[in-house]
Amino acid sequence: MDLHDKTGLLIDDMPEMRSSMRIQLADAGLEKCDTARNVKEAIDRLRDKRYDLIVCDYNLGQGADGQQFLELVRRKQLLPLSTAFLIVTGETGYEQVSTAAEYAPDDYLLKPFTAELLGARIGRILDKKAALAPIHRHLGPGGDRSKALAACDELLAQGGRHLLDVLRLKGELLTAADRNQEALALYEGVLQQRATPWAEVGKARILAALGKEDEARDHLQQALAAYPNYLAAYDSLAQLVEKTDKAAAQQIVEQALRVAPSTQRQRRLGNLALENKDYARAETAFRRTVEKDRTGFFKGHDDYVGLAKSCVEQGKTMEALAAVKDMGASFANTPELKARQAAVECQVHVRAGNESAAKAALDRALAVQKAGGLDAATALEVARACFAGGKQEEAKQIIQTVAEDHDENPAVLAQAQGVFAAAGLDDEGTLFLEATKKRMIRLNNDAVALAKSGQLDEAIAMLTEAADRLPNNCQIAINAAQALLMHVLRNGADAARVARARGYLDQARAINPEHPKLAEADAFHAKVAKAAPAT
């Protein structure tokens, strides 16, 4: 393959390795190649420019590795699927790379190698990217998954050497679309031809989705006996077992960590250990997440919160407060950071019996919270501090706003329930969150009813007030836009209302570009905007 028109990014922390790799890449034909010395530089490059190929060393220094970097940039959507990712590793890193987790590199190459072999491998992975491009095109943010599925079927009908890769993508798409029977048939069809780990895990996930959880669990355990390095199987199994047996889930995550280190899994282990009241283990896990990552890109506020909580539960007040302080030194000074620090500090002091220090910290947390704009996780942490500090009403008020704002997000609602549970108010929490959910449904229904009965102004007022107050509620923003557009449709050209509708649709897209109602609303906007052009 001719690589002269391709662009590459080489990431390696060792200067001599960087220069020798660059020479090898140029020998292989890849002349347009930028370099990055560390995770920060690599992220800056990816923000600026789209590359055909990333060549990344496994060891990146500062406690970072190529696999974790790949997971980070794919998750942050800094690396489109059309960009190939090649990890270069010594033989000792090979097992950790080739352990197919959720985000696997397109290929890995063991050192030492010749420029010829490097060129051949790059040619191969770029060929494969080109073959799968018709599918990948629809898998980016805001992409149309049904078009991706159609592209899979077209490629399958054409045949060719990447059929198995197409089937794998199709299986994932069918699974994501809850087309469970079709996905099951696909995986079973593949497994009839050949035993392969991804199809085993895919099948197990479908069995779980169909409610056959015992069968899914047995299936994953058998898969792990045959494929002991297959991280996706550990992750799926832990997720499945976690629902009924958190201690067993903790063991499975421990096993996965023995296969390959990962900040993500250390964090999961820490959280499971916290729930299992295994505070010493939680402390080691969180300590590792915060200490190992010296880049600051892989850890988060939560890791320091976990560390502080596992320390204070063991009576280590000083260590817990030190974790709160370290959190401040490790991240940018945002309102989220300040609120988190104060909220956790309050809880540590409550646990240690320092009433006045707890109250002072809680006041600081509430001051930041009242300024508004905190993300859900931080706001819920402040709610926890409120419960701990005896301010029940404030706690409920915060949780209510979060729950209304995220009423379509089960993960946030589960966290909210967790806050009630931690305060010993599990049942009350269930009722409270149910009521919130019903209130949101009623709000939407009432607005739609008003609109249908011709009271469009009232509907618009109700929905835009809610959309402005709840900046993370996708459904409300879409409904607000639709009410505005209906007004234009009924009363004639009105550029201001069309523009306001556009604003709410943009708000909705920023929250969740995959929202099922969004495409339809966009089409409605396009139709109305065309009929009533801005004058």
User: Helical H runs in 28-162?
Assistant: 39-48, 66-75, 91-97, 115-136, 145-158
Contact with other proteins (CB under 8 A) among 3, 53, 223, 470: 223
What is the DSSP code string of 188-234?
Answer: HHHHHH---HHHHHHHHHHHHHTT-HHHHHHHHHHHHHH-TT-HHHH
- Minimum Å gap between C-beta 152 and other proteins is 17
- Chosen residue from 32, 40, 45, 124 binding other proteins by CB under 8 A: 124
DSSP run (H or E) holding 271? helix 263-275
Pick 234 or 524: Cβ nearer other proteins: 234
Of 120 and 519, the one with the shorter C-beta distance to other proteins is 120
- CB neighbour list of residue 281: distance below 8 Å, 6 or more residues apart: 250, 269, 273
Measured distance CA(156)–CA(175) in Å, rounded: 18
Q: CA-CA distances (angstroms) from residue 241 to 236, 267, 346?
A: 9, 17, 33
φ, ψ of residue 11 in degrees (nearest 5):
-120, 115
315 residue type, one letter: G
Among 98, 341, 347, 464, binds other proteins (CB under 8 A): 98
Amino acid at 212: K
3-class DSSP state of 494: coil
> Residue from 19, 92, 158, 244 that binds other proteins (CB under 8 A)?
92
Size, binding site for other proteins by CB under 8 A? 33
> Minimal distance in Å, beta carbon 105 to other proteins?
11
Contact flag: residue 234 with other proteins (CB under 8 A): no
Asked if 156 is part of the footprint of other proteins (rule: CB under 8 A), the reply reads no
Half-sphere exposure of 48 (CA within 13 A, CB side): 9
Map the footprint of other proteins across residues 161-190, applying CB under 8 A: 161, 163-164
Report the distance separating Cα 343 and Cα 442, nearest Å. Answer: 33
Q: Is 112 in the site for other proteins (CB under 8 A)?
A: yes
Tell me, residue by residue from 253 to 272, as one string, x for binding to other proteins by CB under 8 A and - for no binding.
Answer: ------x-------------
User: Can you tell me the distance from the alpha carbon of 175 to that of 199, in angstroms, rounded to the nearest whole number?
Assistant: 12
Is residue 100 within the footprint of other proteins (CB under 8 A)? yes
Among the candidate windows 97-105, 235-243, 294-302, 320-328, which touches other proteins by CB under 8 A?
Answer: 97-105
The residues, ordered by sequence, that sit 6+ positions from 168 with a Cβ below 8 Å of its Cβ are 198, 199, 202
Is 196 a binding residue for other proteins by CB under 8 A? The answer is yes
Q: Would you count residue 99 as binding other proteins (CB under 8 A)?
A: yes
Residue 130 within binding range of other proteins, rule CB under 8 A:
no
**198 interacts with other proteins by CB under 8 A:** yes
Q: Out of 189, 228, 390, 424, point to the residue binding other proteins (CB under 8 A).
A: 228
**Residue (72 or 220) nearer to other proteins, CB:** 220
What residues make contact with other proteins under the rule CB under 8 A? Answer: 91-92, 94-95, 98-100, 104, 110, 112, 116-117, 120, 124, 161, 163-164, 194-198, 200, 219, 222-223, 225-230, 259
